[in-house]
């Protein structure tokens, strides 16, 4: 846990107090302030253009922005900055995983300066101003684009694709956990305040049990993420241990996202799908980010393939170390 967790949590919550919800297809009004404060550069050394601090600190900021219902590009921008350094012109870069030579849908492509494309074995960086982009809006209302690279300039930074993929998985997991907490907070308030048959909904056994299951799932995802962060910062950790921990964290966060979104809507009933009520801002983001980058199924497949490549006992020892 970051030693600055309380301070960072307070900072983000103060920022979020007066933040207006973003309109579909637009960046939230709070994003320029997030950039100005250098929050996307946390976890990158100051001499490299970052804001200093550790990965733990960055994940606190990502989690709390998501918990506040502020859907910013911080996961993409922070991961891209880790790969190629922060953008120096007040803009930001985005990141996309792709095993193909080209690109398709890239989140934040209309707003970003560059796209950091993480392939199976290397990294390519494209100038988006030189690409053709058809603007789109994803399920969470975030700006995205169908990208055709054409003759866009490309560079290849000397950083491991696995390192960037791992960083993205941890950042995405933190965002999903924050969104889960936000949906839980909203649901808990609703079932406490909403009365039926003369008593709060929380007094109904099935309701309180489902609320408890939400917390258990989030805590499990948090535990998996803490373990993955510890492995990523351990210079003695093997490649298999780092990968197994990151994959487990990403899978746990995706599973939690599905369960929390489902339970939150079940407990809210019809009010949960109204435009005026705030639940949809969490559940739309949960669905979008759960399937972003690499889906839960894809991560499970990668973990299974790793198990087949090594001795079963050795794999289990690394996975549970």
Backbone region of residue 311 per phi and psi (left: phi > 0; alpha: psi in -120 to 50; beta: other values)? beta
> pLDDT at residue 101 above 90?
no
The band of 167, judged by pLDDT with boundaries at 50, 70 and 90, is: very high
| 8 A C-beta contact, residue 210 and residue 266 | yes
Task: Band the pLDDT of 218: cuts 50, 70, 90.
Answer: very high
Q: 19 or 283: which carries more pLDDT confidence? A: 283
pLDDT, one tens digit per residue, over 265-286 is: 999 999 988 988 989 999 999 9
Average pLDDT (203-207) is 94
Q: Of 255, 231, 251, 226, give the one whose Cα is nearest residue 243.
A: 231
For residue 2, the model assigns a pLDDT of: 67
Per-residue confidence (pLDDT) for residue 99, from 0 to 100: 55
Q: Is the dihedral of CA 80, 108, 286, 162 positive or negative?
A: negative
What's the chain's length in residues? Answer: 321
- What are 244-258's pLDDT values in tens digits? 999 999 999 999 999
CA distance 206 to 52: 46
CA dist., res. 311 & res. 321, Å (int): 15
């Amino acid at each position: 846990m970051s030693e600055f967790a309380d301070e960072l949590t307070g900072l983000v919550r103060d920022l979020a107090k007066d933040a207006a919800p973003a309109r579909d297809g637009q960046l939230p009004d709070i994003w320029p302030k997030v950039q100005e404060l250098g929050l996307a550069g946390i976890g990158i050394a100051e001499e490299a253009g970052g804001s200093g601090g550790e990965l733990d600190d960055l994940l606190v900021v990502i989690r709390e922005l998501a918990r506040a219902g502020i859907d910013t590009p911080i996961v993409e921008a922070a991961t891209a900055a880790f790969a190629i350094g922060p953008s120096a012109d007040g803009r930001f870069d985005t990141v996309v995983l792709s095993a193909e030579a080209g690109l398709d849908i890239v989140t934040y492509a209309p707003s970003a300066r560059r796209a950091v494309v993480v392939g199976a074995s290397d990294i390519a960086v494209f100038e988006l101003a030189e690409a053709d982009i058809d603007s789109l809006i994803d399920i969470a209302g975030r700006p995205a684009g169908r990208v055709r690279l054409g003759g866009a300039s490309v560079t290849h930074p000397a950083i491991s694709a696995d390192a960037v993929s791992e960083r993205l998985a941890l950042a995405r997991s933190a965002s999903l956990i924050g969104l889960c907490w936000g949906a839980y907070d909203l649901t808990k308030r609703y079932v406490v305040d909403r009365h039926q048959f003369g008593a709060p909904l929380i007094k109904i056994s099935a309701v309180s049990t489902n609320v408890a299951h939400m917390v258990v799932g989030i805590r499990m995802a948090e535990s998996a993420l803490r373990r993955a962060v510890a492995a990523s910062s351990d210079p003695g950790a093997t490649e298999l241990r780092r990968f197994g921990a990151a994959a487990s964290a990403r899978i746990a966060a995706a599973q939690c996202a599905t369960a929390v979104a489902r339970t939150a809507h079940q407990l809210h009933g019809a009010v949960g799908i109204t435009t005026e009520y705030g639940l949809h801002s969490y559940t739309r983001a949960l669905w979008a980010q759960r399937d972003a980058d690499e889906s839960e199924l894809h991560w499970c497949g990668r973990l299974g393939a790793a198990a087949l490549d090594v001795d079963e006992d050795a794999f289990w020892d690394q996975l549970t170390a």
